[in-house]
Amino acid sequence: MDLEPSPLAQPFPDMPQIDGIMLRVARAGYKNWDRADLTFIELAEGTALAGVFTRNVCCSTEVEMGREQVVLGRARALVVNAGNSNAFTGHRGREAVEQIMAQVAAHLDCNPSDVLVSSTGVIGVPLPKDKARDGVAAALTADEVSWEEAALSIGTTDTFAKGATASAMIGDTRVTLNGIIKGSGMIAPDMATMLGYIFTDAAVDPAFLQQCLTAANRRSFSCITVDSDTSTSDTVLAFATGKAGNPLLSSFDDAGADAFMAALDDVCRQLAHLVVRDGEGAQKFITVSVQGAVDDDSARRIGLAVAKSPLVKTAIAGGDANWGRVVMAVGKAGEPADRDKLGIAFAGHWAARDGLPLPDYDEAPVARHLEGREVDLTVDIGIGEGRATVWTCDLTHGYISINADYRS
């Protein structure tokens, strides 16, 4: 299916090279399409690795193995297959992953466990070993490609290439962070789901990189939803080559660690937003800010309950400032809340406060705000200091068309 670019699409940014990272792609032909669908990223020796993965119990072999590899904390290569998720394929799927790892390890003279593999696409069909073998062989010796080409190559039903970049000073060394991502949130046809990769030339201890990625994930990827369906393949990996030559970062006490964390937060948030902007059928980018909850985690759960509510998302799609539906969604979150302290605002205009509609609430400026592409919704729980921001898109006919009208 060829989809028009999302109306919320953003241009691919200028992304600098990162020392110790080489990008190559090949045409494995996992689907009947005319494009690169196997991405091979070579990482310098000594690259530190961190990762976060889906909590879906029925996760793919790639996710299972990735979890084990992250514990080791080292990586030499990443292979991403597009068009076949290799999920729910039993031992045959596992053999295909092990074949790729062995093939790349032989070429790089490293351990197979240093080779990370990700796959997204159709479920229940084992990754074809012959196509994988030929594709990897071609990729190993292919010319290097740009970040944008790599971002296109990992995509499946994405409507635009997604990348983000940031930098930070560690002492007097400038380090760069680049990220690429694919997916339309937690959900897309054929289980083609979210895969994100962040690369940096910073020298970072693997355990500390994991600590930073876990924290950044909690404030970015864990704060987005397109339609609440959590995939079997979701993966975010971070690779640090160390080539920038900064003093090794191993804790937040180190000089520059806060700057690195801020840059990682920045890249992760940019990437997460891009996924929402490519949400299936999305016409509006919605920011839900929750304040006054008992704590930040509670605020995030309330925000996600609002962001997942089909009633809220269809109301916004229709340009309807239906704050009653927001009340419902807050109430169903199961978090501490007091109906009589609740406040709701669109773009800073309060529709309700202290559990009551405001008598002088003027819907006209709110209606104008809802006609735009970016919608801001604030929920004040009114009982504490907890805050969180989550992001989602509206629920439209385009979502139904993509998922029901076409056979996948």
Least Å distance, CB 159 to its own copies, is 18
Strand extents, DSSP E, 144-280? 162-170, 173-182, 195-200, 224-225, 235-240
CA distance 216 to 91: 34
Closest to its own copies by CB, 113 or 408:
408
Closest to its own copies by CB, 34 or 68:
68
What single string gives the DSSP state of each residue in 248-269?
PB-STTSTTHHHHHHHHHHHHH
For residue 59, give Cα distances in angstroms to 67, 86, 88, 125.
11, 10, 8, 14
Part in contact with its own copies (CB under 8 A); list of ranges 38-46, 120-128, 140-148, 163-171: 120-128
403 carries a ligand binding annotation: yes
Least Å distance, CB 146 to its own copies, is 33
Among 19, 88, 134, 265, binds its own copies (CB under 8 A): 88
Coil/strand/helix, residue 158:
coil
Sign of torsion, CA 297 303 306 307? negative
Catalytic residue status for 173: no
Confirm or reject binding of residue 70 to its own copies (CB under 8 A).
no
> Which helix (H) or strand (E) element contains residue 100?
helix 90-108
Least Å distance, CB 351 to its own copies, is 8
Sign of torsion, CA 346 311 316 226? positive
371 carries a ligand binding annotation: no
Among 44, 150, 191, 274, binds its own copies (CB under 8 A): 191
Binding to its own copies (CB under 8 A) within 318-357 occurs at: 318-320, 322-325, 327-337, 339-340, 342, 352, 355-357
Coil/strand/helix, residue 153:
helix
Least Å distance, CB 378 to its own copies, is 16
Number of residues that bind its own copies (CB under 8 A): 67
- Of 334, 211, 231, give the one whose Cα is nearest residue 275: 231
Task: Evaluate whether 390 touches 222 at the Cβ level (below 8 Å).
Answer: no
Closest to its own copies by CB, 217 or 283:
283
What is the end-to-end Cα distance of the chain in Å, rounded? 9
- Enter the DSSP assignment of 56: -
Q: Which residues bind its own copies (CB under 8 A)?
A: 55-59, 87-90, 122-125, 187, 190-191, 227-232, 308-311, 314-315, 317-320, 322-325, 327-337, 339-340, 342, 352, 355-357, 394-397, 399-401, 403-408
Catalytic residues: 193
User: Residues annotated as binding site for substrate?
Assistant: 156, 182, 193, 280, 403, 408
User: Residues annotated as binding site?
Assistant: 156, 182, 193, 280, 403, 408
